[in-house]
Each structure stands twice: as structure tokens, then as C-alpha cells.
Amino acid sequence: MNVLATLRFKLMFVWAYLLRITLSYSTGNNLASKTIPLLHPRLPRQKKAFIAGLKQIFADNKTVEEAWRRHKSLVGLSRFQSSFYAQKNTRWIKQCEVEIHGAEYVRDYYSRQKGVLVMTYHHHLNMLFCNLLGRLTLPVTTIAMDAQDSRQYQKFGGRVNRVYEHAEKHLNGGDIILVKPQRMMRSILRAFDKNHLVISANDFPEVFDDKNRKDFPFLSTSLSCPTGTVKLAVRKKIPIVAAYLNWLGGSRFELVIRPVSDGSEEIKVKQVMSRYLSVLELTVQNQPGIWEGWKWIK
């Protein structure tokens, strides 16, 4: 990251802080979604790949441009949320108004005492998704990549650690499992044994779980996805749901949960991934800007 980009990052953090301390949570969300993208140093560089991915699927330029605008606003919102996570006060999250659709699936599966695999997507608000899932008052454990070896972590590692420490306070006794590529999944298995909701994002082609990576049909193309957590859940007959968080404006969110497998059926990894990706397909056909992954579509 060059000096100018680093400066813009710092200005973005300062602006998010000023919005947080001067405005209500709802108003801050709305204004952050419009202004923070103007300071984000990476958005201009990301636009070409993001637009190219969208155009693989959508022929309508209006849809593509609207999706890009929605993506930018969600990036701004996400950076604003990180400002709250970087502080010690955890009461702010009570201001989030969330409608949870499909909670009955999670409660039913949880009652079977085997844990639940919650498969999610890269939808800008992943940490907030984990914490709002905690509104079900069930223990939530989320899997995140350990980025301590990256140069970005070396610059902003203190902030990243504060975000994780803050988020853990909203997980109802669950954990944040930081894993490195190819690391064994013992900690994930222990979370299932404790009957936790275990969150895993399985929609990205970055190097993370190469030996379990496979290509799956997605829309009119394909997507390379890690399947390690899915293989574990299938082998242990753990119930599975697909879920995502959508911002409705202001302080309002909706958390959507869809059933994938109740854990009693004989099911293959390919079937799980097909059901999981079908939820994403339906979502992005209606709201393409909600997904960060268009840059991965070739």
C-alpha cells in the first residue's frame, strides 16, 4: 500500500469516527454509506473487475451500475460498522433493528444437539451478521482467516484484534476461530461438539482450503469454492443452513436463513453446495450489489 492510499485509509477511519460520535446510529449509517466510499482507496481499483463480473451475468447496463452503487454504499456502511467494533463500548449493537426470517430452522436444528453449520457469503457485513445471528440467544462461533502474516495486518493489526475482541462479546459464549490455509479443523469440530452455530463462508476462490476446493455451477458460469467445512458437516450429519444479512437503510437489517439439510438425510457435498449457491443465485438476481464476489467471476 503506497503512502497516499495509507493516508486515505486513515482519513476514512477518522471520518467514520466523527460520524460515530456526532450522529445517531441510523443517520450515521445513511451518511457513511454515501461519503465513506469517496475516501476508500481501493474502490477505484476494484471497479473494473467488479463490473466485468457483473457483465458476465447481466446485459442491462442500468442493472450493472445500480449494483456497483449498492456495493459502494455497503462498503461505506461496513467501514462505519468497523468504527463501532474498534471501541470498547458494546452497547451500540442494541440499536440495530433486525428482522430474522427462518429462525425456526436454526432453532429446530439446534434442538438436535449436534451443532449447526451456517453457510454464509461475502456480503460486506460479515462480522455484524455473526453478532446479529446472536439475537437468537444461541452460541455462535465464526471462522475467519488468520491474516497475521499479511502486510495489511502489520499496518492495521491492532485495529483488527480490537474488532475480533469486541465481536466475541456478542457471540453468547461462542468463539472466533482464526485458521490458516490447510490447518486442521479440530477447533471447528469442537465447536460442533459444543452445539454451537458455526459460521463458514464458502463462496470465494482465494487460497484458503486448496485441497478441498472445487468448481460448482453458478448462474451461467462457475465458482471455485472451499468445501472443507461442508465435508465435515456431511460426514458428521450436522444440520446446515444458508444465511445472509441485508441492510434496509438506517438502523434496519434483515437476516435471511434458508434450510439446506436437516442432518438426517444422506447427502453429498455437491448437493449441499448446489443448495447453498442456489440461495445466493436467487439473492443476487434480485439484489446483485449485495454480493462482494463479482470480482471472482471470470
Residue 59's contacts (CB-CB under 8 Å, 6 or more residues apart) are none
**Are residues 272 and 229 in contact, defined by beta-carbon separation less than 8 angstroms?**
no
For CA atoms 161, 162, 164, 168, the dihedral sign is positive
Residue 295's contacts (CB-CB under 8 Å, 6 or more residues apart) are 46, 49, 50, 53
Rounded to whole angstroms, how far apart are CA atoms 53 and 248?
Answer: 25
What average pLDDT score do residues 27-39 get?
97
Q: Which three cell numbers stand for residue 212?
A: 478441498
One-letter amino acid at 133 equals: L
Of the pLDDT bands very low, low, confident and very high (cuts 50, 70, 90), residue 182 is low
Residue 230's contacts (CB-CB under 8 Å, 6 or more residues apart) are 117, 119, 200, 202, 240, 269, 272, 273, 276
Q: How many CB atoms lie within 10 A of CB 42?
A: 12
| Element housing 274 (H / E) | helix 269-286
Of the pLDDT bands very low, low, confident and very high (cuts 50, 70, 90), residue 100 is very high
Of the pLDDT bands very low, low, confident and very high (cuts 50, 70, 90), residue 185 is confident
Rounded to whole angstroms, how far apart are CA atoms 96 and 253?
Answer: 7
What residues pair up with 221 in beta bridges, in sequence order? 218
Task: Please write the tens of the pLDDT for every residue from 107-160.
Answer: 999 999 999 999 999 999 998 999 999 999 999 999 887 766 555 555 555 667
Percent of the chain at pLDDT > 90 equals 71
Higher pLDDT, 192 or 178: 192
pLDDT for residue 141: 95
Least confident residue range of 12-16, 86-90, 116-120, 140-144: 86-90
pLDDT for residue 52: 95
Q: What is the dihedral of CA 42, 45, 49, 51, to 10 degrees?
A: 90
Residue 33 has pLDDT above 60, yes or no: yes
Q: What is the pTM for the complete model shown?
A: 0.93
Of the pLDDT bands very low, low, confident and very high (cuts 50, 70, 90), residue 1 is low
Annotated domain spans of the chain? 3-296
Q: Which three cell numbers stand for residue 57?
A: 451475468
Mean pLDDT across the chain, nearest whole number?
A: 90
Rounded to whole angstroms, how far apart are CA atoms 139 and 284?
Answer: 29
Q: Which residue has the cell 457469503?
A: 121
Instruction: Quote the DSSP letter at residue 112.
Output: T
Residue 57's contacts (CB-CB under 8 Å, 6 or more residues apart) are 219, 220, 221, 284, 288, 297
Rounded to whole angstroms, how far apart are CA atoms 77 and 192?
Answer: 32
Strand residue runs (E) in 21-139: 97-101, 116-120
Query: Cα–Cα distances in Å, from 210 out to 166, 167, 214, 237?
Result: 30, 28, 9, 23
Instruction: Quote the DSSP letter at residue 55.
Output: H
Residue 298 has pLDDT above 80, yes or no: no
Task: Please write the tens of the pLDDT for every residue from 204-258.
Answer: 877 666 678 899 999 999 999 989 899 999 999 999 999 999 999 999 999 999 9
